[in-house]
Structure 1
């Protein structure tokens, strides 16, 4: 009987610890902003890593993100197999068209294979540049503070290379517009 009681207590303790870890990674303030991410700005080296990251176009040809250096840019880490990523793409495309006049660039970074990204874009055309960063893109997103490793993950960088905001999960258009209007 004691063994069952000890085992039951151990299971309850492990569940409680797991809930504590999950809660600690997703503390939101009243506005729905992830407090842990908002409190810790991404290090400058993450932006430097972005400009030098090995990416390809969907046809597999090497490209350079350094073309976007010196411009305000919205970087969206996504994957073809990620439902929320696919759902937010029309909104990102609409915002891209709206903010193009202000010189704000939008870039999709597929944390996926060339083949999957190319097939996806043939079915769902997107009017902003999309590059393939592969599964190593998760490491780059982590450098920007995405410790959970989830997708989609969006980073707004100003023309000076400063990270202005990060968002794990689908973007909220109103929230993103506020950030972009302040650039």
Structure 2
């Protein structure tokens, strides 16, 4: 290595060190967390959920206030979301099994009414599938889904309090343990 290369490397190293020091000293606000999950017991997003009236896959308006007083598992999903589609058979089994007697499972679709209706007809989902369109993303953000990722699932107790949120494909063993605590 000759002296010219060594000098060039030294200059580049000094520039990087100076840049790092500048950024470090001028960084005032830390980055927001990727997912700001509401603490257990938070009820404001649940109240917003109960105020919603959403059409089902056939276009029939469904007031979510009808589920007050019952434990709920609210699954935000989309037909184009692979993990969403993968967990739906297990959610259907959950809704139609023993747990479904104590728990209302609802799917809130983030897509067009046509796409959700076609999907529902094809897959014969056993729980209510509602259409929220892109406003469903905003509703999921109120529950702590800061990035709007899917699937996003919220477990709400019969007392109207958020018990737990799940980002990504559900782990049903974990979910069943959480359901046992309701």
Report the aligned-residue RMSD: 2.8
Question: CA offsets per residue over residues 149-178 of structure 1, 9 Å max, x none?
Answer: 100000011111011110000110011001
Match of 1:25 among 8, 26, 34: 34
Q: Which runs of 5+ in 1 are unaligned?
A: 14-19, 27-35
Contact 2:40/2:161, CA 8 A, preserved across alignment: no
Q: Equivalents in 1 of 2:112, 2:66: separation in Å?
A: 22
C-alpha deviation, 1:112, in angstroms: 1.1
Task: Give the match for residue 121 of structure 1.
Answer: 120
User: Where does residue 25 of structure 2 map in the other structure?
Assistant: none
- The Cα of 1:133 is off from its aligned counterpart by 1.1
CA–CA distance in 2 between the matches of 1:95 and 1:52? 26
Partner of 1:168: 167
Distance 1:175 1:181 in 2: 10
Q: Radius of gyration: which is bigger?
A: 2
**How far has the Cα of 1:21 moved from its partner?**
6.0
Equivalences, count = 163
Which runs of 5 or more structure 2 residues have no equivalent in the other structure? 1-7, 21-29
User: Deviation at 1:148?
Assistant: 1.8
Report the CA distance shift for 1:130/1:143 in structure 2 as closer, same or farther (over 3 A).
same
Contact 1:74 1:104 in 2 (8 A): yes
Give the structure with the higher percent helix.
1
Matches for 1:1-183 after TM superposition, within 5 Å: 5=12, 9=16, 25=34, 37=37, 40-41=39-40, 43-98=42-97, 99-101=99-101, 103-183=102-182
Provide TM-score, normalisation by structure 1: 0.79
> TM-score when scaled to structure 2?
0.79
What is the rounded CA distance, in whole Å, between the counterparts of 1:116 and 1:87 in structure 2? 17
